[in-house]
Amino acid sequence: MEEKKNNLISIIVPCYNEQEAIPFFYKEIIKVASEMTGVDMEIILVDDGSADGTLSAFRMLAEQDTRVRYISFSRNFGKEAAMFAGLQSAKGDYVAIMDADLQDPPSLLPEMYRIVKEEGYDSVATRRSTRKGEPPVRTFFANVFYKLINKISKVELVPGARDYRLMNRKMVDAVLSVTEYNRFSKGIFQWVGYKTKWLSYENIERVAGTTKWSFWKLFKYALESIIAFSTTPLSVSSFFGFLFCLLSVIGIIVVIVRQAIWGGSAYGWASMVCIILFVGGVQLFCIGILGQYLSKTYLETKKRPIYIVAETERDNKKEAD
Ligand code: UDP
Ligand code: MG
């Protein structure tokens, strides 16, 4: 009987200063791998320019386990770049992306694999059903963000969506064909389409280390995602322009009528200053929005690579030879 070839699953793990979490993660993923029959696994660890011992941990793991590969960036390029690098180098028939801190439980993987294999889905994505352990302000702004972006953008974003997902090769290739520089993966996964099943789980605390997100970073991330997936803010200035024209016509009529009936209507210095400041402010605000889109376009036209590799497990092997 001909031997059936195992499917290969690539696991992509973006890591930035995760030296404390990696041993826990490795132990857990190996356990899951040993429980899954009929599949081979490759683990692609992406070091996003870490300043701690993350890279040496990778080197050690790659030496003792041939399933482990790694890519190390020349500096910190961000999680989006790390995920993209992983996707590019993944050879698997199926590809999963998960965090190193075990907030994306590897134990869900067998179920996710079963769903894409048997239920006809192209991908299985995950979302947090709760935001337990998160500051209430952050939860509030997250809710506002999801409401806003779903109103003004064509792609539908699922509140609480994580980057943890398993995709088949077809979908991975589609994601790779989107080569934009300003990457917002949660949007890109939705944008490429295909059938996705959503699983939810309760928020899990980090196993070790600290989160890389500050409130300010999250705020910028939200703004960038809006710019990447909606052009609605660009029409804000048209809206204000139209509104102010209308108001000024009403104002002109009021002034003329008042002058004709009562006379002497040229007063109101204070209100004039307020109006000038207000209109000037709105104009600057709209120019600012334009500037945001222009700067993104500028970066996009430069066609800079999304990441630069400093070292992979292959370099390490060559040195050892
Ligand atoms: N990460 C990365 N590059 C960065 C920031 C984060 O590769 O510039 C990785 C990080 O190591 C982790 C994942 O992205 O594996 C998620 O980061 P984190 O846990 O800080 O985010 P949170 O889970 O709090 O949203
Ligand atoms: Mg995390």
Task: Identify residues whose C-beta is under 5 A from ligand 2, the ion.
Answer: 99, 101, 103
Tell me the pTM. 0.82
Is the same domain home to 217 and 274?
A: no
Give the distance (Å) from ligand 1 centre to CA of residue 238. Answer: 38
Is the same domain home to 200 and 285?
A: no
Q: Is 81 in the pocket of ligand 1 (CB under 6 A)?
A: no
Q: Is 78 in the pocket of ligand 1 (CB under 6 A)?
A: yes
Q: Is 76 in the pocket of ligand 1 (CB under 6 A)?
A: yes
Look up the domain containing 283 and give its range: 232-302
Q: Please state, in angstroms and as integers, the Cα–Cα distance from residue 243 to each residue in 238, 240, 248, 282, 320, following that order.
A: 8, 5, 9, 12, 70
Is the same domain home to 183 and 210?
A: yes
Alpha helices in the chain (DSSP H): 22-35, 54-64, 79-89, 109-118, 136-152, 169-177, 185-191, 215-229, 236-261, 269-302, 313-320
Q: Which atom of ligand 1 is nearest to the CA of 77?
A: 8
User: Helix, strand, or coil here: 220?
Assistant: helix
Residue 4 has pLDDT above 70, yes or no: no
- Would residue 115 count as lying in a domain? yes
Is the same domain home to 173 and 32?
A: yes
Q: Is 101 in the pocket of ligand 1 (CB under 6 A)?
A: yes
What pLDDT is attached to residue 79?
Answer: 92
Nearest listed ligand to the Cα of residue 98: 1
Cβ atoms of 86 and 11 within 8 Å: the answer is: no
What pLDDT is attached to residue 98?
Answer: 94
Residue minimizing CA distance to atom 13 of ligand 1? 99
Mean pLDDT computed over 156-161: 86
- Would residue 78 count as lying in a domain? yes
How many whole angstroms from its chain centre is CA 309?
21
Nearest listed ligand to the Cα of residue 48: 1
Residue minimizing CA distance to atom 18 of ligand 1? 211
Give the distance (Å) from ligand 2 centre to CA of residue 211. Answer: 6
Q: How far is the C-alpha of 82 from the C-alpha of 71, rounded, in Å?
A: 9
Is the same domain home to 88 and 236?
A: no
Q: Which atom of ligand 1 is nearest to the CA of 103?
A: 23
Read off the pLDDT of residues 124-153 as tens digits, 9 standing for 90 and up: 999 988 777 778 888 888 888 889 888 888
Is the same domain home to 40 and 182?
A: yes
What pLDDT is attached to residue 82?
Answer: 96
Read off the pLDDT of residues 189-214 as tens digits, 9 standing for 90 and up: 999 999 999 998 887 777 777 888 88
Read off the pLDDT of residues 14-73 as tens digits, 9 standing for 90 and up: 999 999 899 999 999 999 999 888 899 999 999 999 998 999 999 999 999 999 999 999
Read off the pLDDT of residues 78-109 as tens digits, 9 standing for 90 and up: 999 999 999 999 999 999 999 998 889 999 99
Is the same domain home to 55 and 131?
A: yes
User: Structural domain tally of the chain?
Assistant: 2
Q: How far is the C-alpha of 186 from the C-alpha of 156, rounded, in Å?
A: 10
